[in-house]
Structure formats: C-alpha cells, structure tokens
Amino acid sequence: MKPIFAKAPSLGVRLFFAVSISIAFILLDGRSNAMIQMRNMLETAVSGLYYFANTPRTVLDSVSNNFIDSQKLQLENQALKEQLREKNADLLLLEQLKVENQRLRLLLSSPLRQDEYKKVAEVLTAEMDAYRQQIIVNQGRKDGAFVGQPIIDEKGVVGQIISVGETSSRVLLLTDVTHAVPVQILRNDVRAIANGTGNNDELILDNLPRTVDIKTGDILVTSGLGGRFPEGYPVAVVEMVHNDGSNHFAKAIARPLASLERLRYLLLLWPTAEEMHKTQRLSPQDVRDVVEERRRNLHPLSRLKNAKKMKIGNNEEPKNEPLEPEELLENPATAPETESEINHSTDQGAE
C-alpha cells in the first residue's frame, strides 16, 4: 500500500541545501548591485512591521502623559526653565567663541566651517548583543537619508547608516565589532582609531605607540579623517591605559559618551558643501595643487616671482636671483631644505 503523502527529504538533505544557499548569499552579498537593491527592498517591506511593533509604546506614552498630575508638570516645567536659562547662557558664550574662531581662521587663511544641517530621527527597534550592535530609525530614502550618514545624539557620536529603505534606515553603532572611527585626543590632538568591542559601554584603541601621550580622562573627538564623520564631535572618554612594557604597543579603553543603552531620539547630519567639495578632491595631485597655491600666496618668494615676471616682460634678464619654488622642485638637489619644507606643507594639506 502506497502512502497518501510523498515522503519528504531527510533533515540532512534539507540542512545541506540550506547551508549551500546561505553560503551562496554570503558570497554574493555586497558584490552585486542586485543584492544591495534586494536588501533595500526587504528593508522597505519590513519597515511597516517596525512601525507596528512601535505602536504600543507610542500609545502607552500618550496615555501616561494624560494621567500625569499638575504638580509633577509644574516641577518639570520649572526644571526645564532652569535648563533653558543655562543653555541660553552657554549659547551666548558659544556665539562669542564662533566669532573668535572665524577671526582666527581668517588670520590663518583657513576656510570657515559652516554648521551642518541636522534632522531628528526616532529609534524604532534595536538589536544589542555581542555580535550585532544596530538600530532602526524612522528616516529613510524619502527623507534624504543615505548610506554612510553620521548619526549623533545630544552627548556624542552614535554611529552611521549602513542600509536605507524608503521610510526607515539601519544604523551601525560605533560599539559594533565591525565599526571603527578615526578620533583624536582633545587635549593634544593625538590621532588614533577607536574600534568597537561588542559591548555598548566600551571602545578600544589598540596598536598605539608606547610613547603616546594619552591618559585616563582624556576626551576623544572625531578627527574628520576619512570624510565620514565631521570633525570635532565627542566620541568617548578614556577610562584605562595599558602601557606596561610587556607589549610593543600601548592600548587604551574608552567609554562612549552617547547613551547607547537607552537611545530614543537621534540627529542625522548632512555634510556641508565645503565638506563635499573636500571629499571629492582626494587625489594627491589635487592636494599638491592646493598646497602649492597656498604656499605661493603666503611664501615671501612670491614677491620675487612677480618681479621676475615683470623683468621678463621688459626683456630684462634676471641675474643672481634666488631660485623660484618651482625651480627648486624641478632641481631638488640644489636646495634640500626647501624640498623638505614643501613636503612638510604637503603633509599638512593632506591632513
């Protein structure tokens, strides 16, 4: 007698096919535009579930706000007024510092930095474990979000967007094991790389020179290198430094300043036109051109260059005049000191 239903494949065969398909998707992931588009479509498809799962919290918040007594509201209003006065005082000092910063940048012939455009986003869901530190926010492609966009909160850097849907985006937190951010010490501008460890309260700075000037309590801010995070945003505070001589490199442990364990509202940053212009000009030749132009404007030999051009225009041959910067570049053996000076300027321009 034959069974009514055909016999299903064994568990081993199904496991083999599942593992094979998973490996194929892993190999194709990130290497094909079709896979990236498929991931974005899936993000858009499941974004409705995120909103649906977030509905009970929104309803409970609205209901609880209706039952708050008037005395608590008065106390909260008084506390908010005090905070507002303190913030207004800080803003007055901030305006003075901004004006002073602009004057110093003009004095140093450095471009003025404009404020970034910011937009508030709300966290829909979070995935916080040792292997995955990600959250979903309610800002997507239609709101202008893009892959690689930096995310901050009121205390410091949170992470960056790694996937964008139509109405939601996935954010990789800076504590994820796959995330790294270029930082610098606020006290002395020493630069390093802060890597995630999988813990939402710990970052690690490894492979530091043993002579590095870093100590407990130092504030780490974004350095602006890489063109992903704007310069000057707080990242973490150093809590421990390992430099006992047993290793060839020093290591530091830092605690993120952002409240990663209780994220609710975040800020999305858009780069300014100046930063986008800098990001597009990353070739070494462009850096050399910018440095050469600035050096020509600030170097004292520029006057001699103008005088030489005027003499050539008047059919006069310059005699016993110092070599121009361009001639020194073409004949480096004649003036090694000038070449080292130019290389030093080029390094500063690249930074």
Q: Are strands 219-222 and 117-128 parallel, antiparallel or unpaired?
A: unpaired
d(CA 139, CA 168): 5
Task: Check whether residue 137 and residue 252 sit in a common domain.
Answer: yes
Task: Check whether residue 139 and residue 90 sit in a common domain.
Answer: no
Task: Check whether residue 275 and residue 145 sit in a common domain.
Answer: yes
Query: Does residue 271 contact residue 116 with C-beta atoms inside 8 Å?
Result: yes
Task: Check whether residue 143 and residue 228 sit in a common domain.
Answer: yes
Among residues 245, 262, 279, the one where a domain terminates is 279
* pLDDT attached to residue 324: 44
Task: Check whether residue 79 and residue 226 sit in a common domain.
Answer: no
Tally of domains within the chain: 2
Q: Is residue 46 part of a domain?
A: yes
Q: Is 245 in a helix, a strand, or coil?
A: coil
Query: Does residue 287 contact residue 349 with C-beta atoms inside 8 Å?
Result: yes
Task: Check whether residue 143 and residue 75 sit in a common domain.
Answer: no
Task: Check whether residue 185 and residue 239 sit in a common domain.
Answer: yes
* pLDDT attached to residue 278: 52
Task: Check whether residue 157 and residue 271 sit in a common domain.
Answer: yes
Token readout for 228 is 């992903």
CA 196 to chain centre: 14
Token readout for 253 is 């442990």
Q: Are strands 250-256 and 219-222 parallel, antiparallel or unpaired?
A: unpaired
Task: Check whether residue 209 and residue 231 sit in a common domain.
Answer: yes
Query: Does residue 254 contact residue 205 with C-beta atoms inside 8 Å?
Result: yes
Token readout for 97 is 């510092």
Q: Is residue 266 part of a domain?
A: yes
| CATH number, position 266 | 2.40.10.350
Task: Check whether residue 138 and residue 199 sit in a common domain.
Answer: yes
Q: Is 113 in a helix, a strand, or coil?
A: coil
* pLDDT attached to residue 337: 43
Tens place of pLDDT for every residue, the chain, 351 residues? 455 555 667 788 888 888 998 888 787 776 777 777 777 787 788 777 877 888 887 788 777 777 777 778 888 888 898 888 888 878 877 777 877 777 776 666 555 455 567 888 999 988 888 888 999 999 999 999 999 999 998 888 999 999 998 889 999 999 999 999 999 998 888 999 999 998 889 999 988 988 888 999 999 999 888 888 888 889 999 999 988 777 888 999 999 999 888 888 898 988 766 555 554 444 455 545 655 565 555 444 454 455 555 555 555 444 444 444 444 434 444 444 444 443 444 344 443
Among residues 253, 279, 305, the one where a domain terminates is 279
Pick from 351, 321, 318, 325: nearest CA to 339: 325
Q: What single-letter amino acid sits at 2?
A: K
- Could you give the residue ranges of the DSSP H alpha helices within the chain? 11-28, 33-66, 70-107, 273-280, 284-298, 301-313, 325-330, 336-350
Domain of residue 75, residue span:
19-112
Q: Is residue 290 part of a domain?
A: no
Among residues 279, 296, 327, the one where a domain terminates is 279
Token readout for 28 is 């194709």
Task: Check whether residue 94 and residue 217 sit in a common domain.
Answer: no
* pLDDT attached to residue 101: 76
Task: Check whether residue 134 and residue 88 sit in a common domain.
Answer: no
